[in-house]
Amino acid sequence: MTGTRARILTKFVEWAISNPKGIYWLSGMAGTGKTSIALTLCRMLRNEPAVFFGGGFFCSRSSGVIAQTDVRRILPTLARLMAGNSPEFAEALAVELDKADRIASKSVREQIGPLLRQPLSALSVSSCPIVFVIDALDELRNEGELAQLLELIMGFKCATPVKFILTSRPEMHIRRTPITNLEHNSILKLHTIDPVEVQYDIRRYISVTLAEVAKEATWYSSTDIDALVAVSNSLSSLQQQP
């Protein structure tokens, strides 16, 4: 909802513009709003002139789309989206695809060069960072190949500055990867956010939603909203980091 998570979103955009680190990991338990943040962030980055938004990939088991749980679909999707946003990248990617055979079915280690590193390195050098978003890593099926992808992303280097914003639950198989290295990555754990900020967002959501679905209603008061905020806030506080 507009007006909520404002400080978090601003923090991510500022990081994308000026922070030298190439990875930002947003960690949070189920239902804490990671995907909503990622979706809004994609829209904000697309409209931010100080960065170039390359594209986003949203993993999901509940969608029923097998590709959204397949690690090997991430890099081809990001490359396709980037090509749609940059004719220069599209031209360089076409050259790489002419050399590669059935690249979408290959391992992520074989994909990352022709799909991202080489085409990005062929771009005109710019100080404007290229940003990719990958949401809900914990929804992917192949844990071993996910670990390999994270290792490749951590070590990703090319002439143009490239950044990745990643979101996931703090699952053990993800926390065992270099994603938790604060020396090289930025990390935001949703359960550590100031409770006052969380309470503000909850209040705004409840107030706006009630105003929309119950226009001119007299059956609820500000006291009722306070009670709902208190109950919702106590539920959110149960979301603890393992």
Chain segment 56-86, per-residue pLDDT in tens: 999 999 998 999 999 999 999 999 999 999 9
* Predicted confidence (pLDDT) at residue 33 exceeds the cutoff of 90: no
Strand order in the sheet with 130-135: 52-58, 130-135, 162-168, 23-27, 185-189
Is the pLDDT higher at 32 or at 195?
A: 32
Question: Given pLDDT bands bounded at 50, 70 and 90, which one contains residue 113?
Answer: very high
Model pTM above 0.85: no
Whether 59 contacts 140, CB under 8 Å: yes
How many other β-carbons are positioned within 10 Å of the β-carbon of residue 98? 9
Q: Is 111 left (phi over 0), alpha (psi -120 to 50) or beta?
A: alpha
According to the model, what pLDDT value does residue 233 have? 58
Question: Torsions phi, psi of 53, nearest 5?
Answer: -80, 115
Greater pLDDT, 178 or 203: 178
